Amino acid sequence: MSLDDPQRKICTAISMAVASIAIYDWPEEWPDLLPFLLKLISDQTNMNGVHGALRCLALLSGDLDDKMVPALVPVLFPCLLTIVSSPQVYEKYIRTKALSIVYYCTSMLVAMSGVYKTETTALIGPMLKPWMDQFSIILEHPVQSEDPNDWSIRMEVLKCLNQFVQNLPGLTESEFMVIIRPLWETFVSSLGVYVRSSIEGTEDSFEGRYDSDGAEKSLDSYVIQVTLMMHLVGSNFYKYFILSNKSF
């Protein structure tokens, strides 16, 4: 498989083909696929391969069922955490793709939680703190003007947080304090960028632009996600703002 092709359009096409086959053949008929992809995303000397494997996993994770996800998450999430927590090694685009897989898998786990609540809690609980710590690190710095890759990685963080806050509040309450101040900093700095870009027109809003995988990179799509997150925080975790008020 040429998942490490340097041409991203070719890489995306191959990833789509692999994911389409894997939906039917993995894991029973294609047991070597996951070890191959995990090896590829762990190879820091081959960033094209990391991108290709992540692209394939992102496509695959969007179609996994409630039997596949619990088997995939324990082995995949540690690899994704290494990528997300290593900005000195991986560019924002790759870290964003890793976070999108976390979101897809978390969405499936959340969908399962109604029927398999005990199993879901046992699976997500031990992983929550390191992920919340990374979310905090990503959100704590001011939003960078005219850098859609910065908006994109924050947007994936916010999408993951939305899942946790809306659907697994019992799991997130004990860890949520770490995210309050960074979330507020992101909101304030995002507001400044939005005013300069979309109201004053002094900076580029990247409206109507997409990355090589077709993901939207506009400021508006990012601001919508920030607004949704702040609404949820205000609705469900207002007490944390009261407790943290003196820090602001």
**Rounded mean pLDDT of the chain?**
84
| pLDDT mean by block of 10 residues, the chain; 248 residues | 83 89 88 93 93 91 79 92 96 94 87 71 86 95 86 92 80 78 90 88 77 73 86 62 50
Domains identified in the chain, total number: 1
Look at residue 152 and tell me if it is in a domain.
Answer: yes
Take residue 246 and report the two structure tokens written for it.
């003196």
d(CA 83, CA 90): 6
Q: What is the pLDDT of residues 202-211, one digit of tens each?
A: 888 777 677 7
Q: What's the CA dihedral at 94, 209, 190, 62 to 10 degrees?
A: -50
pLDDT at 36: 94
Containing structural domain, residue 237: 118-247
pLDDT at 247: 47
Distance of CA 143 to the CA centre of its chain: 17
Look at residue 78 and tell me if it is in a domain.
Answer: no
pLDDT at 8: 80
Look at residue 225 and tell me if it is in a domain.
Answer: yes
d(CA 137, CA 25): 38
Look at residue 168 and tell me if it is in a domain.
Answer: yes
Look at residue 77 and tell me if it is in a domain.
Answer: no
Look at residue 130 and tell me if it is in a domain.
Answer: yes
> Cβ–Cβ contacts within 10 Å for residue 14, how many?
18
Look at residue 25 and tell me if it is in a domain.
Answer: no
Closest alpha carbon to 213 in 69, 96, 115, 103? 96
Take residue 55 and report the two structure tokens written for it.
């692209």
Q: Where are the alpha helices (DSSP H) in the chain?
A: 8-25, 33-41, 47-61, 68-84, 92-113, 117-140, 148-167, 169-172, 177-194, 219-236, 238-244
Look at residue 109 and tell me if it is in a domain.
Answer: no
pLDDT at 153: 94
pLDDT at 240: 53
Q: What is the pLDDT of residues 178-197, one digit of tens each?
A: 888 899 889 999 999 989 88
